[in-house]
Structure 1
Amino acid sequence: MSLSILQGFSKSLAMTVLSEIGDKTFFAAAILAMRHPRRYVLAGCLSALIVMTILSVAVGWAAPNLLSRTLTKHIATVLFLGFGLWSLWDAFHEGESEELAEVEAELDADLKANSETTRANGKGDDDAKKKNRPLLSQFLSPIFLKAFSITFFGEWGDKSQIATIGLAAAENPLGVVLGGVLGQALCQTAAVFGGKSLATQISEKFIALSGGVLFIIFGIQSFFATVES
């Protein structure tokens, strides 16, 4: 593995883990896994995040070809420093587990609506159909699609997505993809198998502080980095 790939990989891995632990999509995966089969929830959440990571890296990789490399570098620097200050602000001004309560309320409302629909349809017929489904169609089940859509649209436009775009513009795209995918896999697996108990034990303030410091370090590095011709 070349130095540029390793650098992109390590930065992306660290950024992803610190951005996603305690994030809304992390809590959503943890709560969904308590209510539905874990393999469907993990497959849906992880698929959405892998697609989002690849799309973000593709945008970041294309940016230097659409804009000048100097301008791209300045934009990445501002993004990193801005997100760093934003994370530090969140650490000192937001209460613990606010996002957990918000996600739980949203999923509870959704669960009530779905349970009423399920009662109207025959549950016995659904169980019989599930046994006869091929493997692929089981993974394209409503649970998989629900986990995918909640995670994908919850992550769209999120701080971590935009930061991934900035990181891909400044670092080796392949390294950023590999680090991002591994980081997402670690976070989502922890959320799905650790459950809500893990989510409630996470110090959101510590994660926000660590993420803020990391973003600021990336911003300083980007500021002093030389622009390749």
Structure 2
Amino acid sequence: MDLIEPFLKVFLLIFLAEFGDKSQLVCMTLSARYKPIPVLIGAVAAFSVLNLLAVLFGATISVYLPQAAIFALVGTLFLVFGVQSLRVEDDEEEGELNIGRHLLLSVFVLIFLAELGDKTQLSIAGLSAVENAWIVWLSGTSALLVTTLLGVWLGQFLLQRLSIIWIHRAAGVLFIGFALVAFWQLAQLVM
């Protein structure tokens, strides 16, 4: 049972943070133009590799940095991401997409480069420093798989019914909530 809580916590945070983000919009646009299965496979493969790199980084720094420094760093990152999510505008630029002959590889490279160092990857790195790294990887990758599925198959329908700005605001509130929890854990360590 100790694994369910961190799994759900990471899943919800990453899901809300990524829903309506640039990579989901890219997947939605690509699947409208090309076959959806290669788009889905390429995106999920890119997310899996990125999350593995983030988890390895987060687990490694947890060995070398004091836990108080990690909570301070994670809390600060989440606070910044929360404020950014609350300030997001309703219209995002999709940009012009140029996909080559090898769709799956093109999608992998496009998503990998678009998400490298993104808030979700940094969040996964931070969470893996304070939670079970493999649970963070599995949960974060599962959340990104679900958002990609929604982007590929249901995205246009959902975005007609839900305002993306409210989804970003919910993610912002969640990020700020997790920042407060990290700062509270930091205060418990220092006292």
TM-score after normalising by structure 2 = 0.90
Higher relative contact order (CA 8 A, sep 6+): 1
Correspondent of 2:103 among 112, 137, 143: 143
1:125-136 matches, cutoff 5 A: none
Percent of residue pairs identical: 31
**Bigger Cα displacement from structure 2, 62-71 vs 23-32:** 62-71
Give the structure 2 partner of residue 9 of structure 1: 7
Q: Which runs of 5+ in 2 are unaligned?
A: none
Correspondent of 2:69 among 68, 71, 75: 71
Correspondent of 1:172 among 111, 128, 132: 132
Q: Which has the larger radius of gyration?
A: 1
TM-score after normalising by structure 1 = 0.76
Contact 1:33 1:195 (8 Å CA) reproduced: no
Correspondent of 1:106 among 71, 96, 119: 96
| RMSD (CA atoms) | 1.7
Give the structure 2 partner of residue 135 of structure 1: none
C-alpha offsets along residues 172-213 of structure 1, whole Å, 9 cap, x if unaligned?
212211211211111111111125444454412111110111
Q: Distance in 2 between matches of 1:69 and 1:187?
A: 31
Give the structure 2 partner of residue 194 of structure 1: 154
Q: 1:49 to 1:200 in 2, by over 3 A?
A: farther
Q: 1:65 to 1:153 in 2, by over 3 A?
A: same
In terms of fraction of residues, the more helix-rich structure is 1
User: In the alignment, does 2:120 pair up with 1:160?
Assistant: yes
Contact 2:85 2:171 (8 Å CA) reproduced: yes
Contact 2:124 2:137 (8 Å CA) reproduced: no
Which consecutive segments of 4 or more residues in structure 1 shift more than 6 A? none
Q: Distance in 1 between matches of 2:162 and 2:109?
A: 25
